[in-house]
């Protein structure tokens, strides 16, 4: 098969390790003169190239282009060149110049900023529309304020509780207004430096501080103006959601936003919901001296994680004085001058709890109401989220969406990734898939809970034959030296390939430790390679090596310094 006599050519590609490799090769082929389209499939290790009749491209030129990208290509003899299963249909070749369609980004949070900056870097003129506070949830009312307060109360807690003999400390009563003022100052600084100052560096991005609404014809009403974008990227984020509990709306309640802004410490607090947000805030206030009760409808805390993580975390939090009620249905809420009355059913038994404050942390919902999206033909899911395909395009051509507005998982780093990807696909055609197969998750309690990939149950449900290794932190020398052996490391490996497919860590610094398993899953690294890799002694990361060794060895019989 030769391109001189055929309009198509199939190549076998060797050396790919992930979907991003396919994108790299696709771009390299698309830039060859005479190539009309290129579709590369990582699962099938194959490229299908559509050539202009009589064009300059030859088999040798295409093979050389793949090799310059760092991979190997050989023609597939006698193979029909229909698009391969799972192949990525390519859009236009990546362009280095020429006019770009104008882009409008609706929403100025992390996804919106990422989309705006990337579209601007690709040469487009961008209008960014934000009717509220610039920066979105994470910097203003989410990740940044919660994590700085978590670290503050950890200092408070360690002053009163530590495991070292001969060290004498004393904890003074916390000054909550001072803590909140310092938190607010940090938020203001980051909002200025990471959003306003960054925006000023991009002259081809215009900020409109107004509310936008999509019209039926795809134009946008912004104030008194009507914009007609070449491409629209919707990044309107999400807001806290509360379930329909009898009396809740009438009684009122705290969301995470209000809870993180309190300047008076409540004597008692009921938290409904034990996802990452709810359980992090519960521990913050418990360490400030508040009597905290957590109600969770599901059997374990942090229900997005494997049950053993939630069970372990519940035990550690109870040791700190929190009251944990799992398998609980909150039936009714009322409020009087003394505070809240929360009525619940726990394991079939009725319970009544009084508290000065009530926090409802039962998840978030996409901000899609009032933007005209459904009227404009943008299909929404059952929870109001925007439905997108694997390239983040909505049901309306030319309209893309990214971030919390497309639903779970609602993480800032996912939003930024999605914003970049949406901008690139909007401008260059559907070339990059939205891939969350190696997505790490962290709950910033103490100890932290972090995971990536598949749990044992999820892997078996997918038909994988897996081996599982679980290492208690008591066998990690760093944890022993720090006198904090709370937690464990679980690794899940595919028996056929010996590759890591999942990891779960409960540890004081699980969020730092999870990155190594993330990279291993992303790049197909085996547990044998993990076990054979140098890990500095007396680091918590060494626990990953020890957990990998646990597949074949009894770590109790290994020397602590010569594993």
| Active site members | 16, 18, 21, 71, 138, 143, 560-561
Whether the bond between 447 and the residue before it is cis, its omega within 30 degrees of 0, is: yes
Give the integer Cα–Cα distance in Å for 525 and 229: 44
Give the integer Cα–Cα distance in Å for 456 and 467: 8
Q: Give helix 276-288 / helix 307-319 axis angle, nearest 10°.
A: 10
Residue among 443, 166, 406 nearest 312 (CA): 443
Give the integer Cα–Cα distance in Å for 111 and 135: 9
Helix (H, G, I), strand (E, B) or coil at 151: helix
Give the integer Cα–Cα distance in Å for 75 and 47: 9
| 392 CB-contact burial (10 Å; exposed 0-12 / middle 13-18 / buried 19+) | buried
Give the integer Cα–Cα distance in Å for 198 and 210: 20
For residue 37, the Cα-to-chain-centroid distance in whole angstroms is 32
Strand partners, 290: none
For residue 69, the Cα-to-chain-centroid distance in whole angstroms is 29
Residue among 306, 239, 240, 311 nearest 273 (CA): 240
Residue 381 DSSP one-character state: -
Number of C-beta neighbours around residue 216 at 10 A: 9
Whether the bond between 409 and the residue before it is cis, its omega within 30 degrees of 0, is: yes
Helix (H, G, I), strand (E, B) or coil at 272: strand
The widest CA-to-CA distance across the chain, in whole angstroms, is 86
């Amino acid at each position: 098969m030769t391109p001189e006599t055929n309009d198509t050519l199939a190549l076998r590609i060797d050396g790919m390790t992930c979907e991003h490799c396919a994108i790299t090769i696709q771009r390299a082929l698309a830039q060859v003169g005479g190539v009309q389209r290129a579709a590369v499939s990582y699962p099938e290790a194959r490229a299908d190239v559509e050539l202009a009749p009589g064009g300059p491209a030859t088999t040798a030129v295409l093979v050389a282009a793949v090799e310059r990208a760092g991979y190997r290509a050989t023609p597939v003899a006698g193979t029909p060149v229909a698009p391969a299963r799972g192949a990525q249909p390519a859009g236009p070749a990546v362009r280095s110049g020429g006019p770009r369609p104008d882009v409008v980004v609706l929403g100025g949070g992390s996804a919106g900023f990422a989309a705006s900056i990337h579209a601007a870097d690709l040469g487009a003129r961008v209008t960014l529309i934000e009717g509220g506070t610039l920066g979105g949830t994470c910097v203003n009312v989410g990740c940044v304020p919660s994590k700085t307060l978590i670290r503050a109360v950890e200092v408070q807690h360690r002053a009163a509780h530590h495991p070292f003999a001969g060290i004498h400390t004393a904890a003074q009563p916390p000054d909550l207004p001072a803590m909140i003022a310092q938190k607010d100052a940090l938020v203001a600084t980051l909002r200025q430096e990471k959003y306003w100052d960054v925006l000023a560096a991009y002259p081809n991005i215009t900020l409109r501080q107004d509310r936008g609404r999509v019209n039926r014809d795809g134009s946008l009403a912004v104030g008194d103006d009507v914009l007609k974008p070449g491409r629209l990227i919707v990044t309107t984020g999400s807001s806290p959601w509360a379930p329909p509990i009898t009396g809740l709306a009438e009684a009122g309640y705290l969301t995470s936003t209000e809870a993180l802004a309190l300047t008076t410490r409540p004597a008692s607090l009921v938290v409904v919901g034990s996802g990452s947000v709810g359980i992090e805030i519960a521990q913050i206030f418990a360490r400030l001296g508040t009597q905290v009760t957590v109600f969770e409808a599901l059997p374990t805390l942090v229900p997005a994680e494997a049950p053993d993580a939630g069970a372990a975390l519940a035990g550690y939090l109870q040791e700190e004085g929190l009251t944990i009620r799992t398998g609980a249905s909150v039936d009714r809420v009322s409020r009087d001058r003394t505070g809240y009355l929360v009525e619940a059913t726990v394991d079939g038994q009725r319970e009544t709890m009084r508290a000065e404050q009530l926090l409802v942390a039962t998840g978030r919902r996409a901000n899609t109401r009032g933007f005209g999206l459904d009227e404009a033909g943008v299909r929404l899911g059952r929870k109001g989220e925007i439905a997108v395909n694997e390239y983040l395009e909505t049901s309306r051509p030319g309209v893309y969406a990214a971030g919390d507005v497309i639903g779970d998982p609602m993480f800032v780093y996912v939003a930024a990734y999605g914003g970049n990807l949406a901008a690139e696909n909007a401008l260059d055609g559907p070339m990059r898939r939205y891939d969350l197969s190696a997505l790490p998750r962290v709950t910033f309690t103490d100890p932290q809970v972090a995971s990536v990939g598949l749990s044992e149950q999820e892997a078996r449900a997918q038909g994988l034959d897996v081996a599982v290794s679980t290492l208690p932190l008591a066998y990690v020398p760093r944890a022993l030296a720090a006198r904090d052996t709370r937690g464990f490391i679980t690794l899940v490996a595919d028996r056929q390939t010996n590759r890591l497919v999942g990891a779960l860590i409960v540890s004081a610094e699980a969020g730092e430790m999870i990155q190594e398993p993330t990279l291993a899953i992303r790049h197909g690294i085996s547990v044998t390679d993990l076990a054979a890799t140098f890990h500095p002694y007396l680091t918590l990361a060494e626990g990953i090596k020890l957990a990998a060794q646990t597949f074949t060895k009894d770590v109790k019989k290994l020397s602590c310094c010569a594993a």
